Amino acid sequence: MRVLITGAGGMIGARLARRIACDGAVVDRAVTSLVLADLAAPDSPDAAFPVQTMAADLGTGAGRASCLAEAPDLVFNLAAVVSGAAEADFDLGYRVNLEATAAFLNDIRALDRVPRVVSTSSVAAFGGDLPDVVPDAHCLTPQNSYGAQKAMGELLLADHTRRGHMDGRCVRLPTISVRPGRPNAAASSFISGIIREPLAGEDAPLPVDPGLTVWIASPDCAVETLLHTASLPKGALGPGAVVSGRGLSVTVAEMLDALERAAGAEARARVICAPDPVVAAIVGGWPKAFACTLATALGFPVDDGIDAIIEAHMRDIGH
């Protein structure tokens, strides 16, 4: 099994690479090679098989050709510009999240094999007048550029899959929390920051009302979700080749309550109210909960609760 991960320098991509390197197998097949690509060459995990890291821009033909040189059997396409950056720079978002994705899928189509392609979408593909719990078949009405780009990416993957160019399967990941490291340009970055920064002894701005409800999953759950998506039988996701991954529906206030239970009132006090109407408008328009009927039936993973998510992050950072 030859595996390619694009966007492998990101938090989820790097964690997925380490997991595959540790397991030595994916989809019940031994991994014979792993290619990790991002704009800057990612770190290489220790593995019992060859691991190649490369700097490659999917927006260029040369970058795509480098990624696909070994004709992978399995592709995890995680390369993307995040929500806040895509909304702030219209051209950048469409160039990376749509145009480069379309070109990459077309280049995969030209391979002499039909690889399995796992792609990620987002809850931002939904928007507008949403029910409290979004059913699997709810129409996509994104209300920001990032969501529109992700929705179009879903349709592209489904059409290539329908035509037999690849065995595509797309999973809409919840907002990932708690992300280690520093804040990024995602509009949802604060959802990790309000836990991560206080645990590190730093203040964290809260740009939204504490009553806001968010749909989240832990980094470990996200990796398990990607691997589970890859393991499904061909056609398991139906003609749309897409599934909404399972998550937790929690309010920001409930997250802060859990932070206080885990680290005390002093940690909670480090979260400082700092209203940001732009962030609030983007994140406030995202779904608050999903039915996840298909994901549940297919045995997708889900976190045990917000306390378990924070405890896992504290173990990761040695707190």
Residues designated as active site: 146
Is the link from the previous residue into 134 a cis peptide, with omega within 30 of 0? no
DSSP lists the bridge partners of residue 176 as 217
Helices marked H in the chain: 11-23, 61-68, 83-88, 90-94, 101-109, 145-162, 190-199, 219-231, 252-263, 265-269, 277-284, 293-297, 306-316
Apex CA 141: angle with CA 38 and CA 171, to 5°? 40
Q: Look up residue 44 and give its two tokens.
A: 């290489």
Cβ-proximal residues to 164 (8 Å cutoff; 6+ apart), any chain? 114
Which among 179, 263, 184 has a CA at the least distance from the CA of 220?
179
Strands 167-173 and 242-244: parallel
Residue recorded with tokens 């696909």: 68
Phi, psi of 244 (to 5 degrees): -90, 115
Return d(Cα 87, Cα 92) in angstroms, integer: 9
The CA-atom distances, in angstroms, between 1 and each of 59, 79, 254 are 26, 21, 43
